[in-house]
């Protein structure tokens, strides 16, 4: 009888958990990997600026997760040199995930990041950002969908910071927030080199 109750309880837990959205599980996956996870207001900040090297004071996170950005995005891909942040924010607006790593991240961890990027590179950008030191940052700009349009006023910048690569956590972040930006660009238009 006790075993039957345990099985029924486990089944109920799995059924209830099945309704949990991908985004709801990301903070748990990040914390389980020893990472931090924060959200920032992303509404009303999708303004284009004239200087691609600017670092607007309206950015409410570092690295930026939403906000004013240059009119041209960074070509999707992996880079050995830092990219302009004001351009990378435009990638986020299009539903991309931007991963940065600091100057003190080991070559072994960078190799893992490159492998992760290469395994599924659509709408992904990988770049060094020396100021992060020993941290790896994952950034996304999430806007909930309302029918066929994203709700820009309800958007959030998403930032997770880790000191090491964790496949489960990084997949969770990517799968929840990729293609979910304020400007919903078709995934086939977000391939490396475009």
Which range (12-21, 49-58, 59-68) has the least confidence?
12-21
Domain positions in the chain: 22-189
Q: Which residues contact 12 (CB under 8 A, 6 or more apart)?
A: none
Tens digits of residue pLDDT in 72-98: 999 999 999 999 999 999 999 999 999
DSSP run (H or E) holding 54? none
Residue 152: per-residue pLDDT: 67
DSSP string of 88-136, one letter each residue: HHHHHHTT-EEEEE-TTS-HHHHHHHHHHHHHS-TTEEEEE-GGGTT-E
Tell me the two tokens of residue 48.
Answer: 């284009």
């Amino acid at each position: 009888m006790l075993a039957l109750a345990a099985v029924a309880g486990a089944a109920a837990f799995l059924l209830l958990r099945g309704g949990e959205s991908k985004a709801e599980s990301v903070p748990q996956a990040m914390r389980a990997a020893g990472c931090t996870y924060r959200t920032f207001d992303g509404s009303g900040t999708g303004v284009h600026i004239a200087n691609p090297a600017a670092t607007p004071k309206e950015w409410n996170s570092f690295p930026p997760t939403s906000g004013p950005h240059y009119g041209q995005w960074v070509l999707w891909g992996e880079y050995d040199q830092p990219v302009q942040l004001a351009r990378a924010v435009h990638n986020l607006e299009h539903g991309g995930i931007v991963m940065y790593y600091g100057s003190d991240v080991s070559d072994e961890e960078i190799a893992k990041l490159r492998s992760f990027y290469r395994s599924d590179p659509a709408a992904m950008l990988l770049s060094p950002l020396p100021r992060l030191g020993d941290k790896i940052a994952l950034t996304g700009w999430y806007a909930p969908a309302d029918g066929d349009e994203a709700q820009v006023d309800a958007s959030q910048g998403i930032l997770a910071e880790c000191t090491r690569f964790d496949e489960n956590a990084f997949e969770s972040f990517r799968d929840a927030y990729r293609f979910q930006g304020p400007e919903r660009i078709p995934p086939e238009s977000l391939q490396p080199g475009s």
